[in-house]
Amino acid sequence: MEAREALLSRVSAPSGTKIKDPATGEVIGHVEFAHPGDVAAAVDKAVAAQPAWAARSDEERVALLLRAADNIEAHAEELAYVVSREQGKTLNGLGARFEVQACAIWLRSTANTPLPVEVLVDDGTNHAELHYRPIGVVGAITPWNWPMIIAVWQIAPSLRMGNTVVQKPSEYTTLSGLAVAEVIGEVLPAGVLTVIAGAGDVGEALVRDRRVGKVMFTGSVKTGMKVVEASAGNLSRLTLELGGNDAGIVLPDADPQAIAEGLFWGAFINNGQTCAALKRLYVADAIYDEVVDALAGMTAKIPMGVGLDEGNLLGPLQNKMQWNVVNRLVEDAKARGARIVMGGDPDPGAPGFFYPKTLVADIDNSAPLVQEEQFGPALPIIRYTDVEQAVEWANGVDVGLGASVWSADRDKAREIGVRLQAGTVWLNSHGGVDPRIPFGGAKHSGYGLEFGVDGLKAVSVPQVVSG
Ligand code: NAD
């Protein structure tokens, strides 16, 4: 066994459900999935460990999160190997090593973000302060696209604020969830971080458990709505990071060559399987053809293949379900007469869930490839003549996670940007996140914020002490 395989074999069960590499179909390990009835025992552990964890000083919890970050770095290649083999992303580029490094960065930043007691009033007669207290047990539920970093986004602030965590990874990327929790958990007291492997019914049981005071949920809009329903009886606090269908608007003064790389990675990061990827591109008629050509030139250069091959920058889709979604949307676009600039011709007989990098031009705004979240490597490029029309189209969907405006004139881009209904608007880039900057959705993309001081507040109970 190679050294980098050690962690995978540690978290893999001796038997159970076979887990297959999405690039090759090869069995890489096994998972023993839990049942809804097993959730209570996992929550028991978190409940038992919570008072002692909360009783530690903030300095102690910070020190442990920093040690967890060091441990992530010490096991970086093993972690990258797990997520590459299970999720399919490439080791290089914005792939597995990038995701693992982000885990360490977020753990450190979350540890180092100050959250002092706020003095609200101090007028000689009254002294009022705002403290942030632990909630208790946090239930953390993750999707399969960025299975390690999203888990860290939920776990790190929760632990910092004195909560204990029960984490349920996606059933598609359980080994990645187990691996990152194993490495973080090595430096933590028992019971502070518990992982339960399971499907949606296990997630629902976690949400329904009355002892879970807060649910951090990242996933689809449809499941987010179920989480709201299942949590109603507990009035649990919720952070919902849901799906997106991010628009990018290219203004007529943009330089097509200069923006092509940013547009490409904004859309194709992790093969488009990214919540805040650019999923609909609106381009001014005056430079439409140049932008399509520049994007096609950029797209053609990016190698796609098995994630473990050091030369590749894009891998397969993670699962057949998502492959079917992308294929359906592209086939529909073709049937509507849209122009396939490149891609759109998968080989259904080839091994793995590879879908070619696909650019679809001259597509109508009403096409499902534009209106639905494709979550894959197929970008629709829509032509506009009036920027008011582009803004209306950009805002014309139920979701609003991110959006971007591309222009040689930053102020002009900002003017348009602030009119877009999205939790984050980027100017001349798309999708970048930063642990110091809050991130969250508008409309059906969810509510609540992650990262920075807002992210810490979201996993605690505000308490006013006045007198
Ligand atoms: P999903 O909603 O199918 O599953 C997400 C998680 O919820 C999984 O762990 C799943 O087992 C669990 N789950 C399923 N049913 C449940 C229920 N009834 N109660 C509780 N948990 C349940 O999403 P997915 O397909 O894994 O992920 C892709 C989606 O996630 C995309 O829409 C993407 O845009 C979104 N996403 C959003 C963000 C963000 O930050 N806003 C980040 C990443 C992904």
**DSSP code per residue over 403-434:** EEEE-S-HHHHHHHHTTS-SSEEEES--S---
Check residue 300 and give its pLDDT.
Answer: 98
Of 410, 414, 416, 454, nearest to 434 by C-alpha is 454
Judge contact between 369 and 363, C-beta under 8 A.
yes
Task: Give the separation between CA 355 and CA 314, rounded to whole angstroms.
Answer: 10
Class of domain 3-242+445-466: alpha beta
The helix (run of H) or strand (run of E) holding residue 404 is strand 402-406
- Span 407-426, average pLDDT: 98
Provide CATH 3.40.605.10 ranges for the chain.
3-242+445-466
What positions carry a catalytic annotation? 241, 275
Task: Give the separation between CA 451 and CA 238, rounded to whole angstroms.
Answer: 15
Task: Give the separation between CA 284 and CA 308, rounded to whole angstroms.
Answer: 39
Of 118, 124, 137, nearest to 465 by C-alpha is 118
Check residue 127 and give its pLDDT.
Answer: 98
Task: Give the separation between CA 206 and CA 231, rounded to whole angstroms.
Answer: 9
Q: Tell me the pTM.
A: 0.97
**Is residue 1 predicted with pLDDT exceeding 90?**
no
- Indicate if the alpha-carbon torsion angle 35, 39, 45, 46 is positive or negative: positive
**C-beta of 168 in contact with ligand 1 (< 6 A):** yes
Task: For residue 15, give both structure tokens.
Answer: 């038997």
- Span 250-269, average pLDDT: 98
Q: How far is CA 255 from CA 261, 263, 350, in A?
A: 11, 12, 38
Residue 348: pLDDT band (50, 70, 90) is confident
Provide CATH 3.40.309.10 ranges for the chain.
246-427
Q: How far is the CA of 119 from the centre of ligand 1 (A)?
A: 38
DSSP conformation letters of 287-325: GHHHHHHHHHHHHHTS-BS-TTSTT-SB---S-HHHHHH
Q: How far is the CA of 149 from the centre of ligand 1 (A)?
A: 14
**C-beta of 219 in contact with ligand 1 (< 6 A):** yes
- CATH homologous superfamily of domain 246-427? Aldehyde Dehydrogenase; Chain A, domain 2 (3.40.309.10)
CB atoms near residue 274 (< 10 Å): 22
Testing ligand 1's pocket by substitution, the residue of 146, 209, 218 carrying the most ligand atoms inside 8 A of its CB is 218
DSSP summary character for residue 405 = E
Phi, psi of 28 (to 5 degrees): -110, -10
Residue 453: pLDDT band (50, 70, 90) is very high
Percent of the chain at pLDDT > 90 equals: 99
> Whole-number mean pLDDT of the chain?
98
- Span 283-309, average pLDDT: 98
Phi, psi of 177 (to 5 degrees): -65, -45
Task: Give the separation between CA 302 and CA 304, rounded to whole angstroms.
Answer: 7
Radius of gyration of the chain (CA): 22
Check residue 349 and give its pLDDT.
Answer: 87
Check residue 201 and give its pLDDT.
Answer: 98
Q: How far is the CA of 20 from the centre of ligand 1 (A)?
A: 20
**Cβ contacts of 381 within 8 Å, gap of 6 or more:** 281, 283, 288, 291, 292, 295, 341, 359, 360, 361, 363
**Is residue 433 predicted with pLDDT exceeding 90?**
yes
Atom of ligand 1 nearest to the CA of 243: 34
**C-beta of 141 in contact with ligand 1 (< 6 A):** yes
- Span 416-429, average pLDDT: 98
- Span 283-288, average pLDDT: 98
Q: How far is the CA of 141 from the centre of ligand 1 (A)?
A: 8
**C-beta of 441 in contact with ligand 1 (< 6 A):** yes
Q: pLDDT (tens digit, 9 = 90+) per residue, 69-115?
A: 999 999 999 999 999 999 999 999 999 999 999 999 999 999 999 99
- Span 399-427, average pLDDT: 98
Check residue 455 and give its pLDDT.
Answer: 98
**C-beta of 171 in contact with ligand 1 (< 6 A):** yes
**Is residue 366 predicted with pLDDT exceeding 90?**
yes
Task: Give the separation between CA 439 and CA 451, rounded to whole angstroms.
Answer: 6
The helix (run of H) or strand (run of E) holding residue 284 is strand 278-284
Q: How far is the CA of 245 from the centre of ligand 1 (A)?
A: 15
3-state DSSP call for residue 194?
A: strand
- Tell me the one-letter amino acid at 14: P
Check residue 207 and give its pLDDT.
Answer: 98
Task: Give the separation between CA 165 and CA 216, rounded to whole angstroms.
Answer: 10
Residue 9: pLDDT band (50, 70, 90) is very high
Q: pLDDT (tens digit, 9 = 90+) per residue, 237-247?
A: 999 999 999 99
DSSP conformation letters of 143-187: -SSSTTHHHHHHHHHHHHTT-EEEEE--TTSHHHHHHHHHHHHTT
Testing ligand 1's pocket by substitution, the residue of 196, 220, 374 carrying the most ligand atoms inside 8 A of its CB is 220
DSSP summary character for residue 432 = -
- Span 117-132, average pLDDT: 97
Task: For residue 104, give both structure tokens.
Answer: 């360490």
Residues in the chain: 467
**C-beta of 375 in contact with ligand 1 (< 6 A):** yes
Atom of ligand 1 nearest to the CA of 222: 2
CB atoms near residue 210 (< 10 Å): 9
Task: Give the separation between CA 349 and CA 143, rounded to whole angstroms.
Answer: 27
Strand partners, 275: none
**C-beta of 203 in contact with ligand 1 (< 6 A):** yes
